[in-house]
Amino acid sequence: MTREEQDEESILFKVEETPLCARCGEGTLVLAQYRHSWMNGRGEDVAGLKEAVLCPSCDHKEPAAAELLALFVADGQVMPENVATFGGLLAAWVESVRHRTVDEALLANEYEQWQRGDL
Q: Which residues bind Zn ion (CB under 5 A)?
A: 21, 23-24, 55, 57-58
Q: Which is nearer to Zn ion, 58 or 66 (CB)?
A: 58
- Single-letter amino acid code for the residue at 35: R
Give the span between the Cα atoms of 116 and 97, in whole angstroms: 29
Least distance in Å: CB of 37 to Zn ion?
27
Q: Which lies closer to Zn ion via its Cβ, residue 35 or residue 93?
A: 93
Q: How far is the CB of 82 from Zn ion (least distance, A)?
A: 24
Write out the DSSP string of 20-72: BPTTT--B-SEEEEEEEEEE-TTS-EEEEEEEEEE-TTTSTTSHHHHHHHHHH
Residue number with CB closer to Zn ion (3 or 100): 100
